[in-house]
C-alpha cells in the first residue's frame, strides 16, 4: 500500500540500488530539482550466498558506505534522500516496497546506471497531461561505446517506462509497466502512456568497474538459474567455489569474476553491433555517455592486456584488430583460445559458431604466437575488435598450490 501524497510535492525519484556505486553520484545529482529521492537498497535472498563473499560484508545489515554517500549527497544537493535497506525475496517485492514509500504526485523509477536528460518543466507538463505513465527514450551502451541491438534493423533506442502518476497507478499496477526479468507481469494499457517519450536517457548497461561488473553479473547468474529452476552452476559458480576455499583478496576476486562470462564485457551472444551514424544518436546523449563511461571502460579495446585468471575458468577479453597475437602465461599448462571477430552490422556473433579455436601446451613465460584471422573467414563488415575466450588447465597439484597460497596465474596478451 502506498503512502498518502504530500501536498505540494510534485516529484519523487525511487532509485533501485545494490552496491552499484560507479555512477550513483551522477545519477543522483541530475535530480537536484526533485522533491525527494528514495534509495531502495538491498539484495535478493536467492543471491545472498553468492554475492556475500564477493562483497565481503554481512548482507543482512545496511551498507555503511552507501549511507555515508547518500547522507553527504543530500546535504550537498539540498534534497531529502531517504535510505531504505532490506533483504528482499525477489525484484517484485523490492519494486513494490520502493514505489510504496514515494510521496510525490509523480514517481520516477530509475536504475543506478541510468542518466536522464530530464528537467522539472518536463515533469510538470506530464503531471498536467491526461497521461498516467511515460517512458524515456533509452539508449544502451557497452564497453565498445557501440549500441548493442538484438537484430539487424532494430531501433537504436527503445521507450522505457519510468514515470507514473501515483494517484492513478498503484504499486501493484506499476509493476506491469517496467522492464523486468523473472517477474510475472500483466499487459499494461497502452492508452495510459504519454504520446511519444518524455525525454532521452542513457543506460550504461555494461560499463562498470571490475567490482561493479562482478556484482551485476553475479546477480544475473543467480537470476538465470533461479528462473530456470536449477542450482547455480557454470563458469561464475566455478570461479566462486575456487575462491571460497582460500583467502583471496576482494580485488583479485572481482577482477576474475568480472571477466568470468561473456556478458561481463557487454556482449550477449547472438546480438549485432552497430555504430551510430551522424544524426542517429542525439549529440547530448553521445557526449554525456562518453564523459561518464571513460573512467570505467576497463575492458575497452586494447592492444596489450594483462591480468589474473583461474585454472579451468574462462576469462573474456577484448583486443584491437590485428593479424597476430602473442600470449604468455605465468605457469605451464594446456591452453585454449577462442577468437571471434566483432563486425559492425554483420551476422549475430557467437563463441560457439564461427569462432577460431587455438589449443596448445605451453611452458611458463613462453610466448605463443597465434594468427587472429580464421583461414575460411569471409569478410562481411568492419572488424572493430576481437572477443577472446582464454582458458588454462594446469596439473591438480599446481592448482592446489595456487589455492593454498591465495594466488592466481597471470597472463599477458599483445596484438600486432
Does residue 273 lie within any of the structural domains? yes
Percentages (nearest 5) of helix, strand, coil residues in the chain: 30, 30, 40
240 and 341 in a single domain? The answer is: no
265 and 175 in a single domain? The answer is: yes
Alpha carbons 105 and 272: distance in angstroms, whole number: 40
Does residue 181 lie within any of the structural domains? yes
Show the CA angle centred on residue 149, arms to residues 148 and 150, nearest 5°.
130
Residue span of the structural domain in which 406 resides: 301-416
Does residue 321 lie within any of the structural domains? yes
285 and 378 in a single domain? The answer is: no
Domain boundary among 298, 329, 349: 298
Alpha carbons 14 and 26: distance in angstroms, whole number: 15
Please state at what angle helix 250-257 crosses helix 235-244, rounded to 10 degrees.
Answer: 170
Q: Confirm if 299 and 143 have CB atoms less than 8 A apart.
A: yes
pLDDT score of 2:
45
**Nearest Cα to Cα of residue 414 among 306, 332, 309:** 306
Q: Going by C-beta distance under 8 Å and a sequence separation of 6 or more, which residues neighbour residue 164?
A: 99, 106, 107, 109, 132, 133, 174, 177
Q: Confirm if 163 and 134 have CB atoms less than 8 A apart.
A: yes
* Total structural domains within the chain: 2
291 and 352 in a single domain? The answer is: no
317 and 269 in a single domain? The answer is: no
Q: Which three cell numbers stand for residue 55?
A: 562483497
207 and 327 in a single domain? The answer is: no
258 and 311 in a single domain? The answer is: no
Alpha carbons 245 and 311: distance in angstroms, whole number: 14
286 and 305 in a single domain? The answer is: no
pLDDT score of 255:
83
pLDDT score of 7:
59
pLDDT score of 1:
41
Domain boundary among 247, 280, 298: 298
Alpha carbons 44 and 86: distance in angstroms, whole number: 9
Does residue 1 lie within any of the structural domains? no
How would you classify the pairing of strands 315-319 and 383-393?
antiparallel
Alpha helices in 279-415 (DSSP H): 283-293, 396-405
- The domain that contains 60 carries what CATH number? 3.90.550
Which H/E stretch holds residue 359?
strand 356-362
Q: What is the DSSP letter of 65?
A: H
- The domain that contains 387 carries what CATH number? 2.60.120
pLDDT in tens, the chain (416 residues): 444 545 578 999 999 999 999 999 999 999 999 999 999 999 999 899 888 888 888 999 999 999 999 999 999 999 999 999 999 999 999 999 999 999 999 999 999 999 999 999 999 999 999 999 999 999 988 766 677 776 666 778 899 999 999 999 999 999 999 999 889 999 998 999 999 999 999 998 777 888 888 888 788 888 888 888 887 777 777 887 788 777 888 888 888 887 776 665 556 667 778 888 888 889 999 888 888 887 776 556 788 999 999 998 888 888 888 889 999 999 999 999 999 888 888 877 777 776 889 999 989 999 999 987 654 455 567 888 888 999 999 999 998 898 888 889 999 999 98
Q: Which SS3 state, helix, strand or coil, does residue 355 take?
A: coil
Does residue 3 lie within any of the structural domains? no
Does residue 87 lie within any of the structural domains? yes
252 and 352 in a single domain? The answer is: no
Alpha carbons 28 and 25: distance in angstroms, whole number: 5
Q: Going by C-beta distance under 8 Å and a sequence separation of 6 or more, which residues neighbour residue 269?
A: 262, 348, 349, 350, 351, 352
177 and 36 in a single domain? The answer is: yes
Does residue 2 lie within any of the structural domains? no
Q: Which three cell numbers stand for residue 150?
A: 538484438
45 and 86 in a single domain? The answer is: yes
Domain boundary among 270, 298, 326: 298
Alpha carbons 207 and 22: distance in angstroms, whole number: 9
Q: Which three cell numbers stand for residue 319?
A: 583486443
Does residue 347 lie within any of the structural domains? yes
159 and 256 in a single domain? The answer is: yes
Instruction: Kindly write down the DSSP assignment for every residue of 75-99, as one continuous string.
Output: HHHTS-EEEEE--BSSHHHHHHHHH
Amino acid at each position: 500500500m502506498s503512502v498518502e501524497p504530500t501536498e505540494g510535492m510534485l516529484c519523487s525519484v525511487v532509485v533501485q540500488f545494490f552496491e552499484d556505486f560507479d555512477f550513483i553520484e551522477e545519477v543522483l545529482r541530475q535530480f537536484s530539482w526533485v522533491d525527494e529521492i528514495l534509495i531502495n537498497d538491498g539484495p535478493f535472498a536467492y543471491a545472498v550466498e553468492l554475492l556475500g563473499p564477493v562483497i565481503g560484508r554481512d548482507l543482512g545489515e545496511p551498507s555503511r558506505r552507501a549511507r555515508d554517500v547518500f547522507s553527504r549527497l543530500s546535504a550537498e544537493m539540498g534534497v531529502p534522500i531517504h535510505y531504505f535497506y532490506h533483504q528482499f525475496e525477489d525484484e517484485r517485492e523490492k519494486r513494490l516496497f520502493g514505489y510504496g514509500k514515494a510521496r510525490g504526485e509523480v514517481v520516477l523509477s530509475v536504475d543506478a546506471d541510468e542518466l536522464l536528460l530530464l528537467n522539472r518543466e518536463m515533469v510538470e507538463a506530464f503531471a498536467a497531461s491526461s497521461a498516467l505513465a511515460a517512458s524515456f527514450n533509452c539508449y544502451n551502451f557497452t564497453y565498445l561505446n557501440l549500441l548493442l541491438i538484438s537484430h539487424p534493423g532494430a531501433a537504436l533506442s527503445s521507450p522505457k517506462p519510468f514515470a507514473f502518476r501515483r494517484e492513478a497507478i498503484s504499486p501493484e499496477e506499476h509493476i506491469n509497466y517496467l522492464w523486468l526479468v523473472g517477474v510475472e507481469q500483466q499487459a499494461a494499457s497502452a492508452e495510459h502512456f504519454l504520446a511519444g517519450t518524455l525525454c532521452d536517457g542513457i543506460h550504461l548497461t555494461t560499463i562498470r568497474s571490475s567490482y561493479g561488473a562482478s556484482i551485476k553479473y553475479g546477480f544475473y547468474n543467480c537470476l538465470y538459474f533461479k528462473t530456470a529452476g536449477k542450482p547455480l552452476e557454470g563458469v561464475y559458480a566455478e570461479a566462486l567455489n575456487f575462491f571460497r576455499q582460500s583467502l583471496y583478496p576482494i580485488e583479485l576476486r572481482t577482477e576474475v569474476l568480472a571477466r568470468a562470462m561473456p556478458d561481463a564485457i557487454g556482449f550477449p551472444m547472438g546480438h549485432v553491433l552497430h555504430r551510430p551514424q551522424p544524426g542517429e544518436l542525439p549529440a547530448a546523449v553521445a557526449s554525456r555517455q562518453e564523459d561518464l563511461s571513460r573512467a570505467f571502460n576497463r575492458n575497452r579495446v586494447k592492444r596489450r592486456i594483462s591480468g589474473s585468471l583461474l585454472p579451468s575458468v574462462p576469462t573474456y577479453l577484448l583486443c584491437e584488430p590485428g593479424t597476430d597475437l602473442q600470449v604468455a602465461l605465468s605457469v605451464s599448462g594446456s591452453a585454449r583460445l577462442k577468437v571471434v571477430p566483432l563486425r559492425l552490422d554483420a551476422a549475430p556473433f557467437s563463441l560457439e559458431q564461427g569462432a577460431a579455436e587455438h589449443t596448445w601446451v605451453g611452458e611458463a613465460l613462453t610466448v605463443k604466437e597465434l594468427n587472429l584471422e580464421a583461414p575460411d573467414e569471409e569478410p562481411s563488415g568492419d572488424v572493430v575488435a576481437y572477443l577472446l575466450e582464454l582458458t588454462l588447465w594446469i596439473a591438480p597439484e599446481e592448482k592446489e598450490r595456487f589455492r593454498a597460497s591465495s594466488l592466481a596465474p597471470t597472463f599477458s596478451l599483445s596484438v600486432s
